[in-house]
Chain A
Amino acid sequence: MIPSSPFLCVITDEAFCPITLAEEALKGGAAMIQLRHKTASGSQLYSWAVEIRKRCRQYNALCIINDRVDIALACDADGVHLGQDDLPAAAARKLLGNKLIIGISASCAEEALQAEKDGADYIGFGHIYPTISKQKEHAPLGPDNLQKSVESISLPVIAIGGINAENAPLLISRGASAVAVISAVSRAKEPSKAAYELLCAIKTGRQ
C-alpha cells in the first residue's frame, strides 16, 4: 500500500552500491526505495533487488523496481516504476493484475491523465527543479505544474527532480504525496542523515 501521509522515496544512484544506499535511506526513514540501474545485467539486478526487498520488508517500506517488470516479479517486489520509454502502463497492468504497484513517470498533466487511465497507482512527476541526476529534454516544470497535475488526477503524485530539504515542504503543500530524490541522498556526506532531514522537511510541508 502506498502510504497515505507524505513520504520520502529514494531512488538508487548508478554510481553507488544500491544495497548500501537503500540501507542508508531506510535508516533515514524512506518509505519507498526504487532500484534503478539502466545498464546492469538481469542477474545483477535480480541479486540487488532481492537484497533491497529484504531490507525494505524489515523497515515496512516499499520496494519498487525501475523498468524491469520481470525482475520485479522474480524478486517479489512491491511494484514497478515505468518511464515513458518503458513497457506501456496498460500492458504492464494487464500482465500484473492488481498484484503489484505500478508507478508511471509523467512530465505533463496529459501524461499523468493517460497513466491514470492505463491503470497506474501513482505518478512520478518531474522534473520539478533543475537536476544533475538525469539527462532532461524539457525545462524544469516547477511547483505550479505539479499542482496542476495533482488537481487533474486522483492518484498520488510523487514529485521528482532537484528536490532537497529546502524546497520539499513547498511541494508537499502543493499537493505532492511524496518527494523522490537521487543525489540529495546518494551524494550527501551522510546519506541516512540527509534522508532523515528530507523526511522532517516533508512533514513540515503537511497542511
Chain B
Amino acid sequence: MQHNNFKVTPLPRICLISNGEADADQGKVLLAQLNLLPETLPCMVQIREKRLEARELFNLAERAGAIKLPAGSLLLCNDRLDIALTAGLDGVHLPENACPADKLRTFAPNLIFGCSIHSLEALHIAERSGADYLLFGPVFDTPSKRRYGASQGLHKLGEICMATSLPVYALGGIIPDNAALCMEEGAYGAAGLSVFQDTARLVETLEQFYSIICQ
C-alpha cells in the first residue's frame, strides 16, 4: 500500500469495488482480484461488504492490506473509518447515508475520503465535508444497482462533473465500451463491481479500461 502519496501522485483512474459476497466466499474473489492486479496498472480498490460483521470485515481488510499492490494503488474500506484505520488501509469510502466526512476527518488526516453522491445537493455536501473524490451513479442500468432506482444517465454525469473540481468516478454499468462516453462528460475514472468479477479476464479488462481512459 502507498500511504499518503495521493497528494503527490494522482488517484488511480480505475476503482474496483468488491462484490459484497465475502460472507459466502470468505473474500476469495476480492483477494484473487488483488493478487491479480498488474504491476503497471494502479487501482483504487474498495472493500464493500455490507453483510459482514465488523470482526470479519476487519479480518478481511487485514488480509487484503497484506497483499502487495501495484505502485499508486489504494485500498479503501466502505463506510467504516474505524476498520480502515485499525487494518491500516489507505482510506474510507462513505455512502451518502454515512457519518459525515468532516466529523471523521480529524481522526484520520492522512487517509483518503471518498463520497458516493447521487445528486447535485449531495455533491455540495460532500465537497464541503472535504471529500477527496466522488463516486457518481448509477450512470447506466445495472442489475446490482436496480433496486436503488433508475439509471441517471450520461447527461447527469456531465452536470456533476461540470459542477465540481473534484475527481468523479462514474459507476453503474460501466464497461470498456462505454467508458469513453463517461470520460467525454468529464469523469475522472471508472468504477465497477460486476465488470471485474471474472477474475480470468480481470487483467484484460483493466488493460482495456486503461487504454480507453488514459489515451
Contact = CB atoms under 8 A, between A and B. Distances in A.
Contacts of A95: 82, 85-86
Main secondary structure of the interface of B (DSSP, over half): helix
A43 B53 contact: no
Pick from B54, B58, B99, B104 the residue with the most CB of A within 10 Å.
B99
Contact of B80 (A70, A84, A92): A70
Task: For chain B, give the interface size range.
Answer: 20 to 34
A70 B104 contact: yes
A86 B55 contact: yes
Interface string A148-159: 000000000000
A70 B105 CA distance: 10
Contacts of A84: 55
B141 to A, nearest CB: 25
Contacts of A134: none
A166 interface: no
A74 interface: yes
Given A45-B99, A70-B81, A95-B85, A88 B104 contact: no
Contact of B54 (A41, A75, A85): A85
B97 A43 contact: yes
A74 B103 contact: yes
Interface string B62-106: 000000000000000001111101110000001101111001100
Interface in B103-139: 103-104, 107
Contact of A94 (B53, B79, B86, B99): B86
A3 interface: no
Contacts of A87: 54-55, 58, 82-83, 86
Interface of B: 53-56, 58, 79-83, 85-87, 94-95, 97-100, 103-104, 107
28 contacts: A41-B97, A42-B94, A42-B98, A43-B97, A43-B100, A44-B97, A45-B99, A69-B82, A69-B86, A70-B80, A70-B81, A70-B107, A73-B81, A73-B104, A74-B100, A74-B107, A75-B103, A85-B53, A85-B56, A86-B53, A87-B54, A87-B58, A87-B83, A87-B86, A88-B55, A91-B58, A91-B87, A95-B86
